Amino acid sequence: MLQISYIRENREDVIKRLQVRNFGQLELVDEVIRLDEGIRSIKTRSESIAAEGNAAAKQIGELMRQGKREEAEEIKTRSGEYKEQLKVLNEELGSLEEQFFQKIVQLPNLPYKDVPMGKTAEDNEIVLEHGEKPVLPENALPHWELAAKYDIIDFELGVKVSGAGFPVYKGKGAKLQRALINFFLDQAIENGYREVQVPILINGDSGFGTGQLPDKEGQMYYVTDDDLYLIPTAEVPVTNMYRGEILKEEDFPIKNTAYTPCFRREAGSYGAHVRGLNRLHQFDKVELVQIVHPEKSYDVLEEMSKYVQSLLQKLQLPYRVLRLCGGDMGFASAMTYDMEVWSGAQQRWLEVSSVSNFETFQSNRLKARFKGQDGKMHLAHTLNGSALALPRIVACILEENQTDQGIKVPSVLVPYTGFEWID
């Protein structure tokens, strides 16, 4: 959530940066400012009336001690008027604060200065490409056909048990999943992240804290009777571990990693581009979350991007890095890098990771603060990144490593799988 003090003092800059996002409700900026002015005005009037009421109470006591009962009764009457005025003002204040909240939560984060203008994914900026796209044989199969050929992923069985988008991994397919999870976790731990195991159900406060609510209710699975949501990513519970906390500056950077299953409704997703593992309702992911000093967050973003790239290099997968344009970024992000892996059989790039800096957008919702050397309270910066999401990684591993003998397992995974070939 944006800070009202910044909006109030930097109206033109806020509007300019929201235009980079192609945000279509710029009138909200002035509405938020107007409501904030109303709130501050009522608070000032309330404080003034309360002060008069306190002064009157003291005066009543003094007059009663002096035996001036009639004068005291007159002031008592005025005191009742003060209370009535405060009651009316408090009702007005509650109404304005609710209107203010409903408006300000609709404002997305402001894009960082390096974020390019643009409306869709077509306008994203290619930062770099790494590795040569492999030349596959003419009879190369897409991953869903390889999965059936070697009986390692059963999409139809998943439909039977749950529905489309819930595959069943079998035999070496299940072991490959477990190998990737353990490999990603071990790599993160070696790079200074603490492993945590977190709930996969969250309450509404947690969803609000990281920006999923009230923006993305339709994308999350909701457990009605318990008023809980299945997590779309481990980012949500891991970041919310610090909701309402006063952090210590000397503890920065705070680095956590977690493996969880993730659940996304992905309503309206149809067609060949979502076939197989390309887009699922349930999938596994290892997530990285950092909470850092505001002065360090963009250095950390670059560091996290390079770390995710190192995983792709170890898996020997060709990839590219994109800087997302304003129109393609997530609601809460100030700047995002996407990593995409080349799918040789599908002849297209598949997103496998997003690494984002949220600056103070999440921490303002979370009230995750620290006491600076100046003695004042400051909001921390939060970042997160997928390292990595498994489905499209598995898809590309299967497609890129297919041979006449079978599918060769990347060498870094062999100690985890216990086998070199899927055949």
Instruction: Say whether both 194 and 284 belong to one domain.
Output: yes
Is residue 111, in this structure, part of any structural domain at all? no
pLDDT of residue 73: 66
pLDDT reading at 269 higher than 60: no
**Which SS3 state, helix, strand or coil, does residue 6 take?**
helix
Residues 6 or more apart from 130 whose CB is under 8 A from it? 309, 312, 313, 318, 319, 320, 321
pLDDT of residue 128: 97
pLDDT reading at 125 higher than 60: yes
- Domain containing 9: what range? 4-104
CA distance 319 to 352: 9
pLDDT per position as a tens digit, 211-222: 999 877 789 999
pLDDT of residue 72: 66
Residues 353, 146 contacting (CB under 8 angstroms)? no
Instruction: Say whether both 180 and 94 belong to one domain.
Output: no
Instruction: Say whether both 139 and 86 belong to one domain.
Output: no
pLDDT reading at 272 higher than 60: no
Instruction: Say whether both 97 and 245 belong to one domain.
Output: no
Least confident of 1-15, 159-173, 262-276: 262-276
Is residue 113, in this structure, part of any structural domain at all? no
pLDDT reading at 136 higher than 80: yes
pLDDT of residue 81: 77
pLDDT reading at 331 higher than 60: yes
- The mean of the pLDDT values for the chain is 94
The domain that holds 12 is classified in CATH as: 1.10.287.40
pTM of the model: 0.92
Instruction: Say whether both 352 and 416 belong to one domain.
Output: yes
Is residue 32, in this structure, part of any structural domain at all? yes
Instruction: Say whether both 259 and 308 belong to one domain.
Output: yes
Is residue 352, in this structure, part of any structural domain at all? yes
- Position 82 confidence tier, pLDDT thresholds 50, 70, 90: confident
pLDDT reading at 115 higher than 80: yes
The domain that holds 414 is classified in CATH as: 3.30.930.10
Is residue 236, in this structure, part of any structural domain at all? yes
Is residue 264, in this structure, part of any structural domain at all? yes
Instruction: Say whether both 145 and 80 belong to one domain.
Output: no
Nearest to 28 by CA among 96, 97, 108, 98: 108
Residues 6 or more apart from 275 whose CB is under 8 A from it? 142, 144
pLDDT per position as a tens digit, 246-260: 999 999 999 999 999
Instruction: Say whether both 64 and 193 belong to one domain.
Output: no
pLDDT of residue 271: 55
pLDDT of residue 259: 98
pLDDT of residue 422: 98
Number of domains present in the structure of the chain: 2
Is residue 110, in this structure, part of any structural domain at all? no
Instruction: Say whether both 98 and 134 belong to one domain.
Output: no
pLDDT reading at 60 higher than 90: no
Helix (H) or strand (E) run with residue 361 in it? helix 361-366
Instruction: Say whether both 23 and 141 belong to one domain.
Output: no
